[in-house]
Structure 1
Amino acid sequence: MNNNIRSFSVRRSGFDSIFINKVLVNTYLLLSSTILFSAVMAFISIKSFAKPVGFLPMIVIYIFLLFCIEYFKKTVFSLFFVFALTGFLGYYIGPYINHFLYVKNGAQILFMALFLTGVIFLSLSFYVFITKKNFSFLSNFLFVGSLVIIFCIIFNLFFHIKLLHVLISGFFIIFSSASILYHISSVINEGETDYINVTISLYLSLYNIFLSLLNILGIINND
């Protein structure tokens, strides 16, 4: 009987491993596709010298597209809205990138921010894959951190404090890094199967890290 139990445990473990790998493959395939599409939209925005989208309109469109992704989660339309969201965010960042292309050392700043974003993401991903550590304990930090970030952003919209802007960018990097650890770990250790939700979370974390690094490096460059 013990042999039967052990045999079932091995088969179950193998099945779980295969299923986890499938979710991870789907996640990273979709993530790479959305990043590529976002880059194409950013390139179009840059080449067309698109005007910056206001912060409030951006937030409204962002929330609407997130709602659509959640509402159509179990249908093929969810993928359409995933690409709509990432494409819009790519287009939104275009004028910001254009600004750096025309300032002193701007191209170097863009390259450095992109390089550091990739290093951070790959390092955190490999760490979770190798250690298999469960980062579910970060859920409370992510919840409280999101509230703190929202409050600080709204506060700084009115007072424009440069130091606070730097602090927000720095905290965004920490917050987004924790989000990457949490969501990759949720697939490996918690059995998360919603790869679309994981993909969106990882994409937004990368997006925020990249923007935050641009902010910090730009301020260091006195821009």
Structure 2
Amino acid sequence: MFTTQDLTTGALQYSGPPINAHGSDTYIAWSLIGTHNYYLYTGDLAFVELVWANYTKALSFLESQVDETGLADVPTAFENDWGRDGGAGHNSAFNALLYRTLVTAADLATHLGNPTLAAAYLANSTLIKSAYNALLWDASAGLFGVKWQAEGQTLSLTLQTPAGTEGVVTLPGTGPLAVDKHVQSTSSGSVELKGGNHTITRQL
């Protein structure tokens, strides 16, 4: 991804050749987190040094989207994500990824002998975390919201069984395959996905 980086903005593509697609903040964050993971498993600091200028430029691109709320406001041009639409705005998925990106970037900066940059990344991660907890937590639902709206409301999604005996079911993935897997593991034959004014019931 670093070899096809936009050298003006710092943005990375979210897929390589032959697709070469652009426009996903979440995938940029995953590429940077993946760089840290690669180092953890290989100890290949030479690779990190090789891509460091590209890496930090990509991270600067992501950080530039943090606004006065303390959260990143994902632009429509970079809202693409796997399995869902509507990724623009102060969405929780990307802001969680940005937090993790900053924490792992601080670790890499430390290994590269730049404690000042590491401290800056950690400080910024703390600000993201604070805003995340303050703005995205929906106390009435007992969940973090999907997105913080300008009017200060959050949208939370809760998965429940019709009988209510299973309580809240956590879905780590998205889409019908994830829902189907959880339905198969329960005694009931359907689940309801509730959010806002909509309820989706899926049966097998």
TM-score, normalising length from structure 2? 0.32
Higher helix share: 1
Quick one: higher RCO (CA 8 Å, sep 6+), 1 or 2? Answer: 1
TM-score, normalising length from structure 1? 0.30
